[in-house]
Amino acid sequence: MSGGSTGVGGTTSLGGSPGTGGTVYALTTFTPLCFGSDNYRIEDLTVGPDGNIWFAEIGGVGQNGIGYVTMDGQITEFPTPGDAPYGITKGADGKLWYAGGNVGASTTTGSIVSYPLPGNWGATDIAAGPDGNLWFLTSANILTSPTYGICRITPSGVVTEFAVPSPDQCLKRITAGPDHDVWYAAGCVPVTSPGLIGRVTMDGAVQEFPLTSEFAGADAIVLGPDGNLWFTEIAGRIGRISVDGTIVEYDVGFMDHMPWAITVGPDGALWFTDRKYGLGRITTAGKVTFSTYSGPQCPDSSILTGPDGNMWFTCSNNNIYRFTP
């Protein structure tokens, strides 16, 4: 079943400058929480209702799954047979919901229910909506003619599909906005178009805001402390979009840096992972600071602020790291 309406709007401008100064964060302040295998990826993190950091993982020893790490570094994992979790979030029902082929819901003790999706759609990322439902992104025909969409699932497992204006764009990450809507970032790799930011109302009306900067490639998106949505562009920019669709982009190193995941830090700034240079920090005024970085453990696909006030992020060496700002 599908519903809603679609539209395009918004304006884009370049603003700010990378800036210099501030604290330089050294790799020696990171604490690795090792998993001990190179056969999987930690794809996403979220804070669970139990105060632990929950993660979605693909691979492992012949299996995919979800799990959690406690504040003192103890790790527990639960397999998800048939599903490959890519995104994970906390639902209003107190369960952990994941997107990974199908959509699944887990209690904090690992009791999991998987909800199959219709057709050949596969769920790729998920967020809790302000309506008490879960909203997730989908993809289909990845190896032939990829198409993308957005769906809503109720806590009881009822799925509704909504069309998007640009189904050929790679919908990457989704988050709840300040306006009782959900927002998503889209951008393909390799970059074939600038990408876009989309907004979906709770009744499924979709509006898209195209990016115009060369090779933008929007990836992650988060609600900022200033009431705007902040997003990463893999070509080396951080973007900001207001609820009226006005976009400002900050150059953090065009075609040199590769911003990936983004979150709000304990200091009220936006923190992001950079696949080439480590961790970055941008204030709501657009001032950027980068961490010093060396070694193979580059920050990767997810970052968040934990209930302990530390920053937690994934790395391409399949570890989760804790960082005290």
Rg (CA), the chain: 18
Give 154's Cβ-side CA count (13 Å radius): 5
The string of pLDDT tens digits covering residues 174-223 is 999 999 999 999 988 766 677 899 999 999 999 999 998 766 789 999 99
Could you tell me how far CA 208 lies from the centroid of its own chain? Answer: 18
Task: Give the structural domain span for 244.
Answer: 10-323
When the pLDDT of each residue in the chain is averaged and rounded to a whole number, the result is: 83
The DSSP call for residue 222 is E
d(C-alpha 257, C-alpha 215), whole Å = 13
CB atoms within 10 A of CB 32: 13
Q: Is the dihedral of CA 40, 125, 55, 311 positive or negative?
A: positive
Which pTM was predicted?
Answer: 0.88
Is residue 76 domain-resident?
A: yes
Give 159's Cβ-side CA count (13 Å radius): 19
User: How many structural domains are present in the chain?
Assistant: 1
Is residue 202 domain-resident?
A: yes
Three-state DSSP state, 28: helix
- More confident: 20 or 54: 54
Verify cis geometry, omega within 30 degrees of 0, for the bond prior to 85: no
Q: Say which CATH number the domain at 140 has.
A: 2.130.10.10
Is residue 184 domain-resident?
A: yes
Is residue 3 domain-resident?
A: no
Is residue 179 domain-resident?
A: yes
Residue 121: predicted pLDDT: 87
d(C-alpha 102, C-alpha 124), whole Å = 9
Is residue 1 domain-resident?
A: no
Strands 6-8 and 206-210: parallel
> Partners of 53 in the beta sheet?
47, 69
**Residue 170: both structure tokens together:** 């790679």
Q: How confident is the model at residue 31 (pLDDT cuts 50, 70, 90)?
A: low
